[in-house]
Amino acid sequence: MATVTDAPTAPPLQRLRDLLDDAVLAVTGGERPPSSPALDRPKQAAHGDFATNAAMMLPKIVGAAPPMIAERLSVALTEHLGGDLDDVSVAGPGFLNLRMSDRWLDAALAEVEAAGRSFATGTPGTRESIHLEFVSNNPTGPVHIGGARGAAFGSALASLLELHGHPVHREYYVNDFGNQVQLFGASLQARARGEEVPEDGYRGDYVAEVAARIPDAATRSVDEVATEGIALMVAQQRASLERFRTTFDRWFSERSLHAPADGATSSPVDDAFAVLAEQGRTYEQEGALYLRTTDSGDDKDRVLVRSDGRPTYFASDVAYHHDKRTRGFARVIDVLGADHHGYVARVEAAFEALGGDRDAIELLITQFVNLFENGERAKMSKRAGEFVALDDLVDDIGVDAARWYLLARSHDTTIDLDLADAREQSAENPVYYVQYAHARIRSILQRGRDGEVTGARTGEGAGDDEGSADAVGATDGVGDAATAGGGDGATTGSAYVAAERELLLALLAWPDEVAEAATRRAPHRIATYLLALARQYSAFYRDCPVLAEGVPADVRARRLSLCSATADVIAAGLGVLGVDAPERM
RNA sequence: GCGCCCGUAGCUCAGUGGAUAGAGCGCUUGCCUCCGGAGCAAGAAGUCGCAUGUUCGAAUCAUGCCGGGCGCGCCA
């Protein structure tokens, strides 16, 4: 009954799902349900290690009531799983609750530990090369708080997609073309001359600082000043972002789209226009060139070239997306700030007009970040003009806290970030709580490797806690596992205590978490998971002495394995978020 | 007016069809002879904005309202 999906590299939970699928097919006589049945951890421990709704999906196919189907499934599963299964029971409207045997847990733990940090390294359904554009802050100022969120989200999403198995190309689009560049140059020059900046010019303190670094800024042409100023700003942004653990494979110049590349006779913009014209997607009206974006659901058609002959910003973006397409990525993802959400429809339309598949481009909008200080709206500095600068944020609360707080929430919800909370370097702060768990485990592992044994308490010391664990975890298991905790000598292997079981089950969910988070473009799920895992480890730490005198050798080995696997998963998870996983704190 | 996002515990937020809705902070009460107390445990706290509908089953899906944020340029 084993199938090709039963590959030896599939993680334990995936193999369990495959077996469930086999059982379903056995019951339906080969017909597949419209969607795969779920195999999840139930909310209540009394419902076993895993629960599946499979029986409730099949009444139409099988022609029987869910509880009846569940009974048949349980028979099939018992057959398939043999000694890996401790107990299977039908509950509620037709749920099937599974309790795995210690043998299965042992094997699973061995796999998790052996895989280490690569435990969740993914096997996505379809592996595809992804072009990811994010931040794309204007080069006329420092990276601001909106850019910080885009940077945190984009860099974490990139890591997450890579962990899941997709090759990712990270790109920053530099808007070094158009009106704003001239305006920036004029602002720089005004500052260099000690004059007021022009109307609608750039007024932040940084303008004078940048101007001071440009030789002869007061007397050279505005063009030259602008070019040098942009270069300095881009370099500064790059430094800010690197400090924020955000790097790019390429910084793509908008300006480069308006001139022929080496050896070419036409510019990328011209090339893109030619494609659009061939497709019959453009037209002229009142002297301007339009793209018929309404064909693809936009509110109105958009101007590519103004009646005075100058291309719009949108023209650049059309050319940019044409370039992305011709570079051969299977998927294009743009991460944009909330103020650009009105732009989504036209970019999608342009992508389609260029011949792209609508499903091959995604525009993700990150919502605003509101900063507070003890409940008051915070205004951090004038360095960025009217915006809060990324550098100020990092100076204030540190990279780890900044990234955590920006990443712990879904990208499409507005964040109210209280700096006083984020600054707090204690366990009140979730990021340090998770880091602390990691450091603590590494410390234990270090001692464990050195063969240390602490004289503290024995395995029996956890007896009180096991009592409560029993009540929570094993109403169906007659206490066979939980009551055996410390006393049975151990030559034949001691049973799993509830806290060990819970921790291992949490670890086994890691590949699912990665897959789900990657598929949903939701790195914040990783943060949620890590916090729960750290809590789970704390419960384990409380109930299960690892190095104490009197802990049987096999139990000690198992607990060291659990520690090792937990540390690796936490490190991998924090790695996705770009948060440090310290050895000690 | 139209479009996008959001509305879940006092606060900040998880949870996109399953069983009794969760976490962190804050609050109350306990716990330092104990592998890292930057810790642990217990407790109080919710009409999941409102209404109707779909479903065996809805915080989750649909429709309509209400409230908040943002956007609707031949700006970028």
Closest protein residue to B2 using CA and C1' atoms?
A299
Q: What is the pLDDT of residues A533-574, one digit of tens each?
A: 999 999 999 999 999 888 999 999 999 999 999 999 999 999
What pLDDT, in 10s, does the model give residues A318-339? 999 999 999 999 999 999 999 8
Contact A58, A31 (CB under 8 A): no
- The pLDDT, as a whole number, for residue A380 is 61
Question: For residue A416, is pLDDT > 60?
Answer: yes
Residues 147-206 of A with CB under 7 A from strand B: 175, 177-180
Locate all alpha helices (DSSP H) within A194-244, ordered by sequence: 205-212, 222-243
Q: What pLDDT is stored for residue A476 in this prediction?
A: 32
C1' nearest to CA of A417: which nucleotide? B12
Contact, A517 vs A526, CB < 8 A? yes
Q: Each residue of A109-145: pLDDT tens digit?
A: 999 999 988 898 876 777 999 999 999 888 999 999 9
A472 CB closer than 7 A to any strand B atom: no
CA distance A88 to A102: 15
A398: left (phi over 0), alpha (psi -120 to 50) or beta: left
Q: In this structure, what are the phi and psi dihedrals at residue A547, rounded to the nearest 5 degrees?
A: -100, 0
pLDDT in tens, A493-531: 689 999 999 999 999 999 999 999 999 999 999 999 999
User: What is the Cα–Cα distance from A464 to A553, expressed in whole angstroms?
Assistant: 22
Q: Is the CB of A240 under 7 A from strand B?
A: no
Position A523 scores a pLDDT of: 97
Alpha helices in A495-523 (DSSP H): 498-508, 510-519
In this predicted structure, what is the pLDDT of residue A377? 81
The pLDDT > 70 percentage for chain A reads 90
In chain A, positions 504-523 with C-beta closer than 7 Å to nucleic chain B are: 520, 522
Give chain A residues 118-147 with Cβ within 7 A of strand B: 138
Average the pLDDT over each of A22-36, A194-208, A244-258, A467-481 and give the range with the smallest value.
A467-481
Asked if the interface predicted TM-score (ipTM) of this complex is over 0.85, the answer is yes
Check whether residue A306 has its CB closer than 7 Å to nucleic acid strand B.
yes
pLDDT at A460 over 80: no
Q: Tokens 């897959």 sit at which residue? A: A515
Binned at pLDDT 50, 70 and 90, residue A427 comes out as low
Instruction: Please state, rounded to an integer, the average pLDDT across all residues of chain A.
Output: 88
In chain A the domains, ranked by start, together with CATH numbers, are 4-100 (3.30.1360.70), 430-577 (1.10.730.10)
For residue A540, which nucleotide's C1' is closest to its Cα? Answer: B40
